[in-house]
Amino acid sequence: MSAPDNDAVARYNQLAEQAEQLERRGELRRSLELFQETRRIGEELQDETLIFRAVCNISTSHLMAGEIAQAEEGLRAILLKARNPRIVFAASYNLASALRRQNKLTKALFYARKAMRATELVDNVAWRATCHNLLGNILRDMSYPDDAMREYKEGMRLGEEAGIGTAPEIDYVRENVGYCLLLKKQYRQGITIILESMQIAEGNENARCVVECCQDLCFGYMQLKELEPAREYGERALTMATEKGYNDIVKNCYYLLGEICLLQGEDDKSDYYFGKLQELYPQLAVLRQFLRTFDVSNIINLKNTF
């Protein structure tokens, strides 16, 4: 490794901070460009730690955009070499998140626990809370909602005790408590928590969490057959997800709005939304007709759909 260049390192940190702010606001293309620039700086300095940190940040931007294959790139190689617990945490966390989204849940659990072990060497309560959130997500997807809820509540407890209960890192933990309640068919309680989560996330300019809250509210109200608010939140989620490039949420909203319009008797509009979803899955030739015939709303997982 070459001698440190203080100006270059300062520039790296400045770009990384700007990119993190842009990412939170949902400006993913721009944040990705800045993170890629930090990687170039790290490579010019031949600084392995800076390179690894940049790769992890690039991975996070891809995860937020629903670009799962790209999010995995380079993470396993980092884990073979890295000894810095912060780098191990970030790479393990992102790899677990990507694997979960591919329904590779046993492997995801392994890396989530590796991330949790790394937090024991880092004085960062927010990271530990987000690890509990990730473990909750995996357990929820493994159909253990009660175990998932315990992880979410532990994440909330850590945040509250540390005085960061309304910090952006805790937004997703709170939102997932609400979503888990929806899955347990406790719709009113779940909706109340998600509305609170959305308000806090808006204050934090946490765009991705706001969109997820809108998506979840659409689902919750649909389950209650309160179709007007369901459609309103679904349309808001779709508009924002399209604008921000949250491709996974766009897919979910096509399904939810297609189902809502079907229930409202608007067959043409339902066909439109199911047709848009069909376009994304040309290999599933009968998807649109299947969704028009069968109600799958009780078995979908909006955090890992299609």
CATH, residue 44: 1.25.40
Rounded Cα distance, 295 and 49, in Å: 49
State yes or no: pLDDT of 289 exceeds 80. no
Rounded Cα distance, 47 and 51, in Å: 6
- Copy the structure tokens of residue 165: 């209960």
Q: What is the pLDDT of residue 36?
A: 98
Global pTM reads 0.90
The answer as to whether 176 is a domain residue is: no
Q: DSSP character for 165? A: T
Domain span including residue 15: 1-73
The answer as to whether 52 is a domain residue is: yes
Q: What is the pLDDT of residues 129-161, one digit of tens each?
A: 999 999 999 999 999 999 999 999 999 999 999
The answer as to whether 49 is a domain residue is: yes
Q: What is the pLDDT of residues 169-187, one digit of tens each?
A: 999 999 999 999 999 999 9
Rounded Cα distance, 128 and 224, in Å: 35
The answer as to whether 12 is a domain residue is: yes
State yes or no: pLDDT of 305 exceeds 70. no
Q: What is the pLDDT of residue 284?
A: 76
Rounded Cα distance, 207 and 190, in Å: 20
Q: For the beta carbon of residue 25, count every other beta carbon within 10 angstroms.
A: 16
Give the number of domains in the chain. 1
Cβ(122)–Cβ(89) below 8 Å: yes
The answer as to whether 291 is a domain residue is: no
How far CA 232 is from CA of 208, 211, 229, 237, 242, in Å, comes to: 18, 13, 5, 9, 16
Least confident piece of the model among 13-27, 100-114, 274-288: 274-288
Q: What is the pLDDT of residues 220-230, one digit of tens each?
A: 999 999 999 99
Cβ(209)–Cβ(201) below 8 Å: yes
The answer as to whether 11 is a domain residue is: yes
The answer as to whether 178 is a domain residue is: no
The answer as to whether 281 is a domain residue is: no
Number of residues that this document lists for the chain: 306
